[in-house]
Copies of this chain bind each other. A is one copy, B any other.
């Protein structure tokens, strides 16, 4: 993999952007500063980085693929109301990889966990509206 300016910029931008950005968001942010960098390059490279493990791709919402530059094992929480995605840093339950491996014979490399529910902000809003 060659070291191109584009790749550098893409990585920098994702890190600078709020986490869990979509390819489109990364492209827009880049485009503002570097109008010549194409969308195809952004898509291609985010994907390539993810494949190499330099980035993690997430398909948690219904919409677009999101990219996360935090490589350390962590989980995610998605608010059913506002669709916001939050990082969840609880103690990893790595032992379950082992469980699955033993029970099914799969070679388990990784696991991802997505929690769903209501975030504090939305919970507060609901209460406010239901007060009569």
| Chain A residues packing against B (C-beta within 8 Å) | 59-62, 65, 75, 77, 79-80, 86, 88, 90-91, 93, 96-97, 99-101, 103-120, 123
Contact = CB atoms under 8 A, between A and B. Distances in A.
Contact of A100 (B60, B90, B107): B90
Contacts of A116: 108-112
A100 B88 contact: yes
A80 B59 contact: no
A108 B117 contact: yes
A88 B109 CA distance: 15
Given A59-B60, A96-B93, A111-B115, A105 B80 contact: no
Contacts of A118: 106-107, 109
Given A90-B96, A90-B100, A106 B115 contact: yes
B114 A111 contact: yes
B100 A108 contact: no
A105 to B, nearest CB: 5
Given A60-B59, A100-B77, A115-B97, A107 B86 contact: no
Contacts of A101: 117
B113 A96 contact: yes
